[in-house]
A and B are shown apart, each in its own frame.
Chain A
Amino acid sequence: MELSGWDAAAVCAKAITYAATLGAAGAVFFLEYSGGLLHELPRTRIRRLIGTLLLGAALASCARVLLSGASMSGELAGMFDSGFVRMILGAGEGRATGMRMAGLALAALAIPSNPRFRALALLGAATASISFAGVGHIRALLPNFAPLLLLCMHLLCGAFWLGALGPLLIAARDGSDREVALLASRFGKLALGVVALLLAAGAGVLWTLIGDAAQFWSSDYGRMMAVKLLIVAALLSTAAVNKLYLTPKLLSGDAKAVIQFRRSVKTEMVVGALILLITAAFTTVAGPPQ
């Protein structure tokens, strides 16, 4: 599989779109389930993070369309060719991007901290998260309702998990040790079910796309997916350390545990970013075996 510089740039733009969108959505979910566990300073900083990520997601979505034009044409001029842009937007990307922008706009209602807008902000966060299912390999399946549903669950759960990491880091930096302990405990309890659903939904999507174990290893898509699964296993290990080792230490009041927790969350963020990068790669430059 040969990749040009423009192909690589388009993949990076897609990965950044994933990270910013799922990060913003997950932070909106975090504000909802963290309830009164955090005092105002970290909550304000999390809302600022949401604003930054929402803007980043919107810009990355636009950049992705333009870079796809460059990738298709193999040259810079492709970014500014209205014919390419129309083609890309007409082929499902327009639907996905429109849905994402609408979701991001609604999710921005989480920033003013007005309780009247909470439900709309959550709706926006969910919409933006599942917008990635508006285009892609799943669309090629017949029938595709169940695979689409599984993919939406996978995306929502991914947003919940990866999008919590930024707010957790802010809380670990600005919150009291007691607040961090209670948040880590609450997140850990919720994450058990969410991660199980994430893995089950992901396995279901993978099965519908590949379906044959022999084809998994013989295709670029399958091999890149295998790399993703290895990185997911690494992320699960880090999360397990947080839940089983660090969270009990936090709850017992161990002062060093907060520093270890911050380090662990940063590690999860790096690993999470790698997962999004490899996902962007195999959903752009490879396809499931047909």
Chain B
Amino acid sequence: MLKLAILAVALSGAMVAGPCMAHAKLQSSSPAKDAHLTEAPKALTLTFNEAAQLAVLKLTGGGKEIPIPVDKNAKASPSFTFPLPALAPGSYTVQWTAMAADDGHVTKGSFVFSIAG
């Protein structure tokens, strides 16, 4: 057992190097959560509390999904901005899934905003 303990010390040393991050939480967004906008936004921005990789981003409104291409190969970043097509008045839901780059943990969330007619 002592030999295994020494082995564990040696092997765990190999895992010390590398950046350390934690769960990625959405710090802010534009449009903001529950925002009531008077005109359609031109872009959607998500800002996390740390660098993360955005895995999934869905924007739905009026029962339809508005395609927003997400580059899964993009480097980890705390902020992501996507240009939006012209959005009609109504209520929209943004669903996102992000992965913290080093601890590999996934967080999901959603928020809504609306555009006045």
Please name all residues of chain B whose beta carbon is closer than 8 Å to the beta carbon of A92 when the two chains form the complex.
Answer: 102-104
Q: Are A140 and B106 in contact (CB under 8 A)?
A: no
Instruction: Report if B5 contacts A (CB, 8 A).
Output: yes
Contacts between chains A and B (CB distance < 8 A), count: 107
Binary B-proximity of A159-195 (CB < 8 A = 1, otherwise 0): 0100000000000000000000000000000100110
Docked Cα-Cα span, A190 to B104, in Å, equals: 35
Task: Give, as a whole number of angstroms, the nearest-CB distance from B82 to chain A.
Answer: 16
**A73–B7 touching, CB < 8 Å:** no
- Measured between beta carbons, the chain A residues less than 8 angstroms from B9 are 149, 152
A256 proximal to B (CB < 8 A):
no
B residues 1-15 touching A (CB-CB < 8 Å): 1, 4-5, 7-9, 11-13, 15
B33 interface contact, C-beta 8 A = no
Q: Is residue A86 within 8 Å, beta carbon to beta carbon, of the partner chain? A: yes
Q: Is the beta-carbon distance between A84 and B102 smaller than 8 angstroms?
A: no
Q: What residues make up the interface of B, taking CB atoms closer than 8 Å to A? A: 1, 4-5, 7-9, 11-13, 15-16, 18, 20-23, 53, 55-56, 72-73, 97, 99-107
Shortest 8 CB-CB distances between A and B: which pairs?
A83-B72, A140-B22, A91-B104, A152-B8, A92-B104, A139-B103, A287-B23, A152-B12
Task: Show the binding face of A for B, using Cβ within 8 Å.
Answer: 29, 68, 71-74, 81, 83-84, 86-88, 90-93, 95, 122-123, 126-127, 130, 133-142, 144-145, 148-149, 151-153, 156, 160, 190, 193-194, 284, 287, 290
Known: A74-B97, A84-B55, A139-B18. 11 other contacts (CB 8 A): A72-B99, A92-B102, A123-B7, A130-B11, A133-B12, A136-B104, A139-B21, A148-B12, A149-B12, A287-B22, A287-B23
